[in-house]
Amino acid sequence: AQTVTQSQPEMSVQEAETVTLSCTYDTSESDYYLFWYKQPPSRQMILVIRQEAYKQQNATENRFSVNFQKAAKSFSLKISDSQLGDAAMYFCACIDSNYQLIWGAGTKLIIKP
């Protein structure tokens, strides 16, 4: 079965600093997509960034970027210039062979003012 592992239950970072959230996955697919979603206290899951596995270039969205290591099956999220509004649960997800999104357990990100 495909799995997504987020090894950091909680991370904290000082406002304006940079933080990296880890994610590893296991898939037998050759072409797939990976996602990072954030879930603030409002409960709404919001897409942060998406990476296509066949693209070698790491995806970037403003202050958010990924470090995608396909061979290592690693997909970490880097948040630069952290802001108070970035505080949330962050979930990594991968589409499996049954076209279902498999989710990691999440990392709670705390921003210290």
Partner 1 sequence: KAGVTQTPRYLIKTRGQQVTLSCSPISGHRSVSWYQQTPGQGLQFLFEYFSETQRNKGNFPGRFSGRQFSNSRSEMNVSTLELGDSALYLCASRGESSYNSPLHFGNGTRLTVT
- Per-residue exposure over 22-45, b if at least 16 CB sit within 10 Å of its own CB, e if not: bbbbebeeeebebbbbbeeeeeee
Where does this chain touch partner 1 (CB under 8 A) — which range of 9-17, 67-75, 77-85, 88-96? 88-96
* By CB under 8 A, residue 47 contacts partner 1: yes
Where does this chain touch partner 1 (CB under 8 A) — which range of 10-18, 61-69, 73-81, 91-99? 91-99
Amino acid, single-letter form, for residue 26? D
User: What is the smallest separation between the CB atom of 4 and partner 1, expressed in angstroms?
Assistant: 10
* By CB under 8 A, residue 44 contacts partner 1: yes
* By CB under 8 A, residue 95 contacts partner 1: yes
User: What is the smallest separation between the CB atom of 16 and partner 1, expressed in angstroms?
Assistant: 28
For the chain, strand residue ranges (E) read 3-5, 10-14, 19-21, 24-26, 33-39, 46-52, 60-61, 64-69, 74-79, 88-95, 101-103, 107-112
Judged by the rule CB under 8 A, the positions of this chain that interact with partner 1 are 32-33, 35, 37, 42-47, 50, 52, 91, 93, 95, 98-101, 103-106
